[in-house]
Amino acid sequence: MTERIKYISSNEFADEVLKAEIAVVDFYSTECPPCEALASKFDSLSEMYADDIKFIKIHRQENRELAVSLGVSSSPTLLFYKEGQLVGNRLTGGIKRSDIVANLELLIDPKRAGEIKGRIESKSTECDVLIIGGGPSGLAAAIYTAQAKLKTIVVDRDLPGGQVKITHLVSNYPGFSEPISGYMLMHHMSEQAKAAGAEFRLAIDITETDLENKFIVVDGYETIYAKKIIIATGSSPRTLNVKGELEYRGQGISYCATCDAKFYEGKHVVVIGGGNSAIEESLFIAKFASKITIVHQFDKLQANKLAQEKAFAEPKIEFVFEHEPREFIKKGSTVNEVLVEDLNTHELKTIGCDGVFIFAGMIPNINEIKHLFELDTWGYIKTDKDMKTNLDDVYAIGDVVSKSFRQITTAVSDGTVAAISISKELEREDSPMELINS
Ligand SMILES: Cc1cc2nc3c(=O)[nH]c(=O)nc-3n(C[C@H](O)[C@H](O)[C@H](O)COP(=O)(O)OP(=O)(O)OC[C@H]3O[C@@H](n4cnc5c(N)ncnc54)[C@H](O)[C@@H]3O)c2cc1C
C-alpha cells in the first residue's frame, strides 16, 4: 500500500471523490487475479499523476451498497471523476495500462498531460526466462523454470489462462475425474506458477520486440531483457465475421470438436466449413450428435478423398452446399438457429440446431514476428525436439508450434520440454568449467 493511494469506505466517498477536482476510483476485491494485475499499474500511475489526480481504492464487497448504486458489478472496475461527475470510459476486467492513461489524460489539461508523459522514467528488468503468453503452455513452462529458481517473467496481453479460461468445461485434462471449468483449471495453473515465484505482467501491450537482442518493451516503459525467451502466444480460430459469432462463443459456438462434441450427445449440430478439419471433425462429432448439417460455401468439399467418402457414407451427416452463414441466433441458453444465404439465389433460410462448430482454420498469434522464424506451410513455428526455434535462445511452445495435435496436454508437454531444456542449458552456461571437466 503506498501513500499516494487512499483506501476509503463508502461514507468517505462524497468528500474524497465527489468533492475532489479529479479522482480515479478502483473498486477492487481480494483474491481477484485481475485486481492483482491492475494493482501494480494503478500504483505506478499514481506515482506519475498523484500531483494532479486523486487515486482512490474502495473494497467492493465491503462497500456493496455504494458499488451497486454506481452500477459496479465486477472487480476490478475503474471509474473516473471530474468535479463530481463521471467522465471517460468505465474500465473493467483485464484493464490495460494504455486504456487507463487514455482516460487519465481526458481529466487533465493536454499540456500538463504532455509534461507528465515526458517525465516517465523507463524501467529496465533482467530475467533468466521471459515467457510471452500465459496460456497452458506458458504457465507450465513458468512452473518448471520458476521451481528451478530461474527468474521467470510471464507477459500476456490479457489475463492468464489462454484459450482455456474461456472454455466452459474441460473433461480431458488428466487428474480430474469430473469435468473442470476451463477458468478454474487455468486459475490453478497460474496460482501454481505464482507460488513457484514466477512474476507476471498482465493485460499489457508489448510495444517493441527484439528477439535477436533478447528484449521486449512492455507498455512503452519497461524493457525486459532475458537470457532465454519462450514464445507461447497460441493460435486463434479464424473468425467468419458473422453476427452472433463472437457474442456466443462458448454458448453454442465452438471451434474444437475434441473438446466440445461430447456435450452434443443426441443433438443436432451445424458445422461450418468443408476442408479437412471440418470433415474429419464432423465424423468425430457424429459419434455423439444425432444429426450434423455441414454448411459449405462451395459446391463440393475441399477435404481429402477418404474423409469425403466417410462423410458421404455417414447417415447422420447432411450437406448444404453453396450457402454461407449470415447470423447465429440464440434464443435460449445456446445458439439454436443459423441464418444462411443461398449464394446462387441469395435466398435466406434458417436451420434449427442445438449448437454450431466453426472450422475455418486457425491463425498462429505471431503476426509481428513471423518473418524471423522458419515456419511450416500453415505458418506455424518449426522447432527441434527441445522446442528450440531457428533463433538462438528463442523457444516456441504450444499451439503456435508446427505439430499434429493442439490440446492442453500437448501445450503443457511443450512447456515442460522447453523449461527443462532451458534449465539444463543455463546450468551449463553458468558453470562452463564443470562442463569441461565432466
Ligand atoms: C473453444 C476451445 C475449447 C477448447 N477446449 C479444449 C479442451 O477441452 N481440452 C483440450 O485439451 N484443449 C482444448 N482446446 C485447445 C486448447 O485450448 C489449446 O490447445 C491450448 O490452449 C494451447 O495453449 P497455448 O498456451 O499454446 O495457447 P493459448 O491457450 O492460446 O494461450 C496463448 C496466450 O498468449 C497470449 N498472447 C497471444 N498473443 C500475445 C501477444 N502478442 N502478446 C502477449 N500475449 C499474447 C494470449 O492472450 C493467451 O493468453 C480448446 C480450444 C478452443 C478454441
Q: Is CATH 3.40.30.10 the classification given to domain 5-118?
A: yes
C-alpha cell at 116: 507528465
Give the position, in ligand 1's atom list, of the atom nearest the Cα of 410.
19
Asked whether 2 and 43 are in contact (CB, 8 A), the reply is yes
Between CA 267 and CA 294 the distance in angstroms is: 14
C-alpha cell at 387: 522446442
Between CA 291 and CA 315 the distance in angstroms is: 8
Between CA 422 and CA 409 the distance in angstroms is: 20
Task: Give the dihedral sign, CA 143/374/219/76.
Answer: negative
Task: Give the dihedral sign, CA 11/13/16/21.
Answer: negative
Tens-binned pLDDT, residue by residue, of the chain (438 aa): 457 899 999 999 999 999 999 999 999 998 888 898 899 899 989 988 989 999 999 999 899 999 999 998 889 999 999 999 999 899 998 899 999 999 999 899 999 999 988 887 789 999 999 999 999 999 999 999 999 999 999 999 988 999 888 777 788 999 999 989 889 999 999 999 999 999 999 989 999 999 999 999 999 889 999 999 999 999 988 889 999 998 998 789 988 887 788 889 999 999 999 988 899 889 999 999 999 999 999 999 998 899 999 999 999 999 999 999 999 999 988 899 999 999 999 999 999 999 999 998 889 999 999 999 999 999 999 999 999 999 999 999 999 999 999 999 999 999 999 999 999 999 998 776 655 554
Does the pTM surpass 0.85? The reply is: no
Q: Which CATH architecture has domain 123-236+362-428?
A: 3-Layer(bba) Sandwich (3.50)
Give the position, in ligand 1's atom list, of the atom nearest the Cα of 136.
25
Nearest-5° Cα angle at 415, 413 to 421:
105
Ligand 1 contacts CB of residue 137 (under 6 A) = yes
- In the prediction, which pLDDT does 328 show? 97
C-alpha cell at 320: 448444404
Residues of each domain in the chain carrying CATH 3.50.50.60: 123-236+362-428, 253-358
Domain spanning 253-358: CATH superfamily: FAD/NAD(P)-binding domain (3.50.50.60)
Count other C-beta atoms under 10 Å from residue 282's C-beta: 29
Between CA 7 and CA 12 the distance in angstroms is: 10
C-alpha cell at 48: 506519475
Pocket-testing residue among 164, 165, 185, ligand 1, by greatest number of atoms within 8 A of Cβ: 164
Pocket-testing residue among 131, 143, 144, 233, ligand 1, by greatest number of atoms within 8 A of Cβ: 233
Q: Which amino acid residue places its CA nearest to atom 22 of ligand 1?
A: 399
179 vs 170, 354, 386, CA distance in Å?
5, 21, 31
Give the position, in ligand 1's atom list, of the atom nearest the Cα of 400.
26
Ligand 1 contacts CB of residue 101 (under 6 A) = no
Q: Which amino acid residue places its CA nearest to atom 14 of ligand 1?
A: 407
